Chains A and B, each alone.
Chain A
């Protein structure tokens, strides 16, 4: 990490959907802010020179020829595990993983110990992130005290501290009246509620998608209806209350269709999915691989197709990681007992870039879903390269291939079903609040 007074990123393809900008040019970072963006037009030919050098005047020059220069990615669904589960992840290691993955803003979910359901815990997270974090951290508070689904948490007071949204992630608010009140209450403020949509009475301790594979493996299934029933309920509640609702980690065709219909009716909702829901299916569980155990569970080819359609037509606004690091000892267990989750920060960008390769999204649309839209939904001033914005900039080498090796993850969580995959797209240089991180020089967690 280094902080130069002035950094000059030259000759990259600068893309900023917030400004409708896509062209070759220069971007200058000064004092932690974006000082100037200058589009010149055509790409200039690559010259032999060092990629990054400081000149005598104290200005650092980064040659971004052949690279994309984009806004730092914003992950609105992260688990940083601190306080309470530091053996799984810490704010320090989690934000380092974010930088490695091209994310400059992370939004940790409140299911820590203690739960982030009050201003004291929120303040702890924010202070810790200021002191040890490598990138920006915008905490998500709990909707209800202790995530018990009964009494509202102090959402207003937590907002004063810096919480940007509220969710009982992983423990859905089962009581419809409590959810209705929570949605109604948000109307006095600007923040959204993020709903982990799962009817627990239907999922009933199931551990994978209910279907042919669950029959084959003798594992208890979670039907798609467990997600869809709850999305239906929350859409109805958003409609009746006018509260701001964001639906987390959409995984089924039925969910995409429900959200599409609700949006067409003018109901104010947004939705996200995660890379694993468009990259792999329930077949990844074959062999009882606990690294493929995630909630909601991996679904079918048809669901994957529907998720892609939803991303393409704008039904799904956001790609988030649901980065859920766990200790290796917790995943090498009986399938029923292993916790759900995938360590996703360091593979999300490359997996999502395959959507561009496949023609599902343009690179501009992808950046909307990974930077601009989450910033807008959360009301944070990130996800853009506008002049005077916080300098969160990522330089991506889109052609660079790498083999996923969790042993080199910065995250403490090595739990990924993508081990050994060859992916393309490396965030070579990441600038967070003006601080420059060179991921190519970076040598892994112990480096």
Chain B
């Protein structure tokens, strides 16, 4: 296993599978009465979040505490960054605290890559710009494996704002590595003009989810409205929203997934979000196990 997890592209199929298996064993730990393991006692992690995040940050923090790490949250709003300190100086300062792990979220693509080159600590990418969110892809794979017995051979439709989605970027690579077929579905304005090799692109959602084993909905960022990506949320929902009527086109046992936070009624109908096929809350639970596995396994 490498020193860092900055990109899902950096880890092999075997390493990905090992992370998934480790996550599943940590999940068993999380079902116990005492959920904490002493695995990384005496080690220190800093959560360096340059972007607002509640879910991912909470999930990482919980995972770190379950591993008995000492956890420091470096909140950017109260840090020197707002005083004009450069990213490099911030990282050097934090490294001087003598830390072992750095979990980073940043609005600019490539920042975890940049930081990983500058520090001896292990760097975990918790989302960089529109580039990657590797632990999300891993937790999605864990969820599919648990529910479907494996990822290989699955038809996975990822639907919505692909262009700006780090979740989609990491998932495409992770799923294809594990042997799934990936379809990207959405309005042409929100799908890259040069999609990753090997995926199938659908502008028609009915075609895109027909027979799919997994329908993964992405969050429509409401700030995209008024930027001419699509005319209105109403029109978006009509063509690319997941309604109960549309879901029947997918395989009858298809999983409905969403990385959260959801916009009910915009990309996903409320009843679909809560239907038996929805595994959205399991994804959240699996996130903790996956983040434990990643931090535990990094060299």
A333 at the interface (CB under 8 A from B): yes
Return B291 CB to nearest CB of chain A, in Å: 21
B196 at the interface (CB under 8 A from A): yes
Return A224 CB to nearest CB of chain B, in Å: 11
Chain A residues, CB < 8 A from B107: 336
Chain A residues, CB < 8 A from B108: 334-337
Q: With A218-B169, A329-B86 as given contacts, are A212 and B109 in contact (CB-CB < 8 Å)?
A: no
Q: How far is the CA of A287 from the CA of B132 in the complex (A)?
A: 14
Q: Which of A216, A220, A333 lies in contact with B196, CB distance below 8 A?
A: A216
B132–A218 touching, CB < 8 Å: yes
Contact mask for chain A residues 312-341; partner B; CB cutoff 8 A; 1 contact, 0 none: 000000000000000001001111110000
Q: How far is the CA of A336 from the CA of B106 in the complex (A)?
A: 11
A218–B194 touching, CB < 8 Å: no
A287–B113 touching, CB < 8 Å: yes
Q: Which of A215, A217, A223, A332 lies in contact with B110, CB distance below 8 A?
A: A217
Number of interface residues, chain A, beta carbon within 8 A: 20
Query: Which of B34-42, B52-60, B123-131, B277-285 is near enough to bind chain A?
Result: B123-131
A210–B114 touching, CB < 8 Å: no
Among residues of B, the one whose C-beta sits closest to the C-beta of A213 is: B194
Interface of B is mostly: loop
Contact mask for chain B residues 204-235; partner A; CB cutoff 8 A; 1 contact, 0 none: 00000000000000000000000000000000
B109–A218 touching, CB < 8 Å: yes
Among residues of B, the one whose C-beta sits closest to the C-beta of A288 is: B110
Within residues 128 to 181 of chain B, which ones have a CB less than 8 A from any CB in chain A? Answer: 128-132, 166, 169
Contact mask for chain B residues 255-266; partner A; CB cutoff 8 A; 1 contact, 0 none: 000000000000
Most B-side CB within 10 Å, residue of A211, A214, A335: A335
Q: How far is the CA of A406 from the CA of B125 in the complex (A)?
A: 32
A219 at the interface (CB under 8 A from B): yes
Q: Which of A215, A218, A220, A332 lies in contact with B88, CB distance below 8 A?
A: A332
B193 at the interface (CB under 8 A from A): yes
A288–B113 touching, CB < 8 Å: yes
Return B223 CB to nearest CB of chain A, in Å: 15
Q: Which of B111, B169, B193, B194 lies in contact with A334, CB distance below 8 A?
A: B111
Q: With A219-B109, A335-B109 as given contacts, are A210 and B194 in contact (CB-CB < 8 Å)?
A: yes
Chain B residues, CB < 8 A from A216: 196
Return A400 CB to nearest CB of chain B, in Å: 34
Among residues of A, the one whose C-beta sits closest to the C-beta of B191 is: A215
B76 at the interface (CB under 8 A from A): no
Offer 23 A-B interface pairs, CB within 8 angstroms, sorted by A: A210-B194, A211-B194, A212-B194, A212-B196, A212-B197, A215-B192, A215-B195, A217-B109, A218-B109, A218-B110, A218-B128, A218-B129, A218-B132, A219-B129, A219-B131, A220-B130, A223-B193, A288-B110, A288-B114, A329-B86, A334-B114, A335-B110, A336-B129
Which B residues lie at the A interface, using CB under 8 A? Answer: 86-88, 106-111, 113-114, 128-132, 166, 169, 192-197
Which A residues lie at the B interface, using CB under 8 A? Answer: 210-212, 214-220, 223, 287-288, 329, 332-337
- Given contacts A333-B86, A334-B114, list 12 more A-B pairs with CB under 8 A: A216-B196, A218-B109, A218-B110, A218-B166, A219-B129, A288-B109, A288-B110, A332-B88, A334-B87, A335-B109, A335-B110, A336-B109
